[in-house]
Each structure stands twice: as structure tokens, then as C-alpha cells.
Chains A and B, each alone.
Chain A
Amino acid sequence: MSERGAREVTFRGGGFAPRPVKWVGLIVFVALIAFAEWGTRAGWISALTLPKPSDVLATFGELYQSGMLFKHLSVSLSRLAVGAFIGASVGIGVGILIGLFSMIRAGLVPLVAAIFPIPKIALLPLFVIWFGIDEGSKYALIAFGTFTPTVVATYGAVDNVDRGLIRMGQSFGLSWFSIVRKIVLPGAMPGILSGLRISLAIAIILLVAAEMLGAEFGIGAYILEAGSLYDLERLFAGVVILSLLGVTVSFIIGLIERRVLRWRS
């Protein structure tokens, strides 16, 4: 065959397939912090705009050495754990009921839609009266805030379970309870876990809000105190702790997903 008049076909495929790239995320972090450090040292970022990252680190070190880091963190973590556990487990339970029963769906979906957009922080004074100024109102705020996104994610996940698998269960004479436990729940698990990622991030946001009222210790209390004193180093140290908390929670869910959802391709 002659080569004359022949040219290679132009490649126009590829792309649209994100793949994991290591280290880039870390490099972005490091570069941003280095940039802030350079700016604050050189003086073209004023001390009122942004604290020196090295000073924030030093504050963090002091906090650690004084033992207060552990004190604040343990109080906050227990609030987060109790509140998020109540909110997520009630949310998953209600979400499954909505997914399974038409009457419950008809009754509760509009209600959930109505309470979803309420900023739960606005209800904090009410929660203080209902559940007391101590831990009760804090648990309630976090639980309430985690509840709504968990419900919505869970019933969506139940809706998305392959009906073919449910019909298979029925055709083999499995009991209703078996179908729910062995087919619906595991099938909804991917959706529930990705909903939990969002719910737990919201729980961390609400943790700070919950510690705005009547809290002596806790990351939120620490940040708010620093904010009212305009102590930027401590403010940023607190914010970094919250960020790390978020990353840790997301990492833990990632581990759970990898274990529980091994069957997915």
C-alpha cells in the first residue's frame, strides 16, 4: 500500500478518568503555608491579617505541653462521638423505615425536607431550654444536625438497591426480615457510608457552635475565646485541630469503606 496521501489518525480520546496522584495534595498544603510564612516574615502580610505559621505551630506546641490540648480534645471528642452516634444511628434507622414503608415515607419525607434547611445553630437557645445548658444541649445540637443528612442519604441508598436482587430473595422464599437484613442493608451500605462522610463533617461544624454556649473546655470554646481576644495564633491553632479532626474522620470512614465494601469493583 502506498504511503502517499496517508497520515496518522489524530488522537482524540483520553481524559475524563481521574486517577490518584500521590503527594500533590501535600505539596499544595506545604506551598500555601510556606507562602504565608514568607509573606508574614517579609512584612507584606501584616500581623493583623494572618499570624505567622511558625507562631501558630509554637502555640500548638505550648498547648500540647501544658496538657490543655488533651483536655480540650477529649471533651470535644466525647461530645462529637455521643452526638454524632445518636444522630447517625437514628438517621439510618428512620431512613431505612422511609425506604421500606410507603406510609412512613409519605409522612416523614416532607417533614425531613422542612427541617433540613433550618440552620441548627439557630435552635441552640431552644435546645438549651429543652436539654439544659450542660452536655444535653450540645449532644442534641450535634445529633439533630447529623440526623437530617443521614436520613436523606439512607433512604436514597435504600431506593437504589437493585430491585432484581429483592425479587430474587422473594423468589427463593426468603422472609421479609431476611430480605431487609441480607439484601437491602448491605446493598444500601455504599450510599449510607458516603452520606456519613457529609454528616460527620457537619457534626464537626456544629461541635464548635455547640461549644459557644456554656462550655469551659473544648476546641470550640478554645477557638471562641481566642477569637474574642483577637489572639490569631490560638485561633489558627484551634482551626488546624478542627481540620485535622475532619481529615481523621474522613480517613476512618475510608478505612471502613475499604473493609465493608470490598465486594465493589
Chain B
Amino acid sequence: MDIRLDAVGHTYDDFEVLRDITLEIPQGKIVCIVGPSGCGKSTLLRFIGGLERPSKGRVLQVGEPPAGSLNPLTYIFQDFALLPWRSVAGNISLVLEDHGLGGTEAQRIIDDVLARTNLSDFAHALPKQLSGGMKQRVAIARALAVRPAVMLMDEPLSALDSQTRELLMDDLISLWTRAPFTAVYVTHNLNEAVRLGHAIVVLSRRPGQVRDIVHLNKPLNERRFGDPELEAHQQHLWQLMRDEARAADAELLHV
């Protein structure tokens, strides 16, 4: 299943945040969206997942989600969004219960996703006992449990320290290499974008418009920390964004 954005624009009251975004998210690829703060990249992600409605344009699903997908459009949030009163296994079971999955069938899915994210030993831990990186792994496991067609990742590593971020990037790359998934990955971190993105969409500052789309052909599992080729891409992206980011930084907030 692909996602197509067709001339999506949005205004809050009379305040334009996004303008004429047309974009294709092909199946099996990770598309990163980068842009200066306040450019509407998280808003765009909420449109794609149906949590908010754009005032102009349409978000289209092209093709059918794979059979057995319980929740085709599945988010991973920056703040993890785990229920603090449920254990790791309970948080995953939460998203299965409403699909009538319980008992051994649910347990099988939970065991499987916990094994894939190396969390099997933590099934009964409460979120407060886990580090930030572990919490995000639980959120990734929860997302995998509903077999999504597209993962919508809203700055998933931004709340983590840089070492944990490296570890989780490795995890995401190995998950993708074993079973390629489709993802829209919103971030303000250019390093994450060049490590994880097959395509990187650069948005301008408000109102957010597509400034450029950079395609990276190097396979994900060959991208290493400090790779000179990736550094060059990151430099290029920073050149594109630098002035925008400065201007965005100097803007007054309309709240």
C-alpha cells in the first residue's frame, strides 16, 4: 500500500501552516520529512494517520493494506505514549484487545514482537522501570503487533540521548532489513534522516512547502556512523535548511 498526498494545505484560523504538499510514499521505503521547527511536519503526519483533517487537498491510500493488517496506519510517538499502569505485555495487549484478539493468539503475537525487539525479558516490567530507549522499543513492538502497512514515526528518537539514539537506529535498520516496512519518519535531526531515509523531503519554514526531495540509494545496512558519503548528504541538507531554520528561529510564536 502506498500513500499519496495530493496538494495538501492547511490553515489554523487564518494562519497558514502547510501549502500545496504533493508527495508519494512508496511501499517498502522509509521517507524522512525534515524541516525547521514549526514548519508543520508533525501536522502533516497527523493528516496521514487520520488524526487531523487538512483544510485543502487529500491524503490517499493507494492499493489495499496487506491481509491481516489490524491497523494499517500506525504511529510511533516522540513521548512513547505507553500506559504507565500497564506492563510491557499489557501495553501491547491493549492494541490487540479491540480487535477481538485475546488469550493464546494475543500471547503469540506479544511473544513474537517482544522477541523481535529484544524485550522478551521485560514483558512484566512497568514503564516506570524502563529507560527511554527501552520505552521506545516497547512502542515499536506495540506498533509491530498490529502489523501496520505504514509506520508513522513522529520524532521517535528525539527524546533520547545520542548514544541510545544510535542503538535504536541500528535496531530500526535491522528490523527493516529483515522485513522491509513502509514508514514516514518526521525528524529535525539530519543525521537520523540520512541514516534511515530512502528519500528525504525537505520542507521550508511556515507555511511548509516541499523545498527539495533528496534520494539516497545506499542500502540501509551499509550506512555507518560517520560515513563520508552520508556526511556529504547531511551537509547538503543543512545548506538547504540553514537560512530557513534561522528565519524560523527568529519568528514570533502565534499562540
Contacts and interface: CB of A to CB of B under 8 A. Distances in A.
A binds B: yes
A171 B49 contact: yes
Interface string A125-166: 000000000000000000000000000000000000000110
B83 interface: yes
B80 to A, nearest CB: 9
Contacts of A265: 128
A182 B85 CA distance: 10
A33 interface: no
Contacts of A174: 94-95, 98
Contact of B83 (A170, A173, A182, A264): A182
Interface in B146-187: 146
B94 A182 contact: yes
Contacts of B98: 172-175, 178
B71 A186 contact: no
A71 interface: no
Band of interface residues on B = 20 to 34
A168 B75 contact: yes
A183 interface: yes
A168 B77 contact: yes
Interface string B71-86: 1011101010101111
B81 A168 contact: yes
A29 interface: no
B97 interface: yes
A203 B75 CA distance: 46
Contacts of B85: 186-187, 263
B3 to A, nearest CB: 15
B97 A164 contact: no
Contact of B81 (A164, A173, A182, A262): A164
A175 to B, nearest CB: 6
Contact of B74 (A167, A171, A183): A171
B89 to A, nearest CB: 14
Interface string A175-196: 1001000110011000000000
A262 B97 CA distance: 23
B248 interface: no
A186 B83 contact: yes
Contacts of A178: 97-98
Contacts of B84: 263-264
B83 A171 contact: no
Interface in B12-67: 49, 51
Contacts of B73: 171
B123 interface: no
Contacts of B142: 172
A175 B128 CA distance: 26
Contacts of A171: 49, 51, 71, 73-75
B126 interface: yes
Nearest to B146: A172
Nearest to A169: B94
B141 to A, nearest CB: 13
Contacts of A183: 83
A183 to B, nearest CB: 7
A178 B75 CA distance: 18
Contacts of B51: 167, 170-171
A123 to B, nearest CB: 39
Nearest to B87: A263
B126 A164 contact: no
Nearest to A162: B81
B123 to A, nearest CB: 16
B71 A172 contact: yes
B79 A164 contact: yes
Nearest to B99: A173
Given A182-B94, A187-B85, A263-B127, 17 more contacts: A164-B77, A164-B81, A165-B81, A168-B75, A168-B77, A170-B51, A171-B49, A172-B98, A173-B71, A173-B98, A174-B94, A174-B95, A178-B98, A182-B97, A262-B126, A263-B126, A265-B128
17 contacts: A167-B81, A168-B77, A171-B51, A171-B75, A172-B95, A173-B71, A175-B98, A178-B97, A178-B98, A182-B94, A183-B83, A186-B83, A187-B85, A263-B85, A263-B86, A263-B127, A263-B128
Considering the complex of A and B, which 4 residue pairs feature the smallest CB-CB distances, nearest first? A168-B81, A263-B85, A172-B95, A265-B128
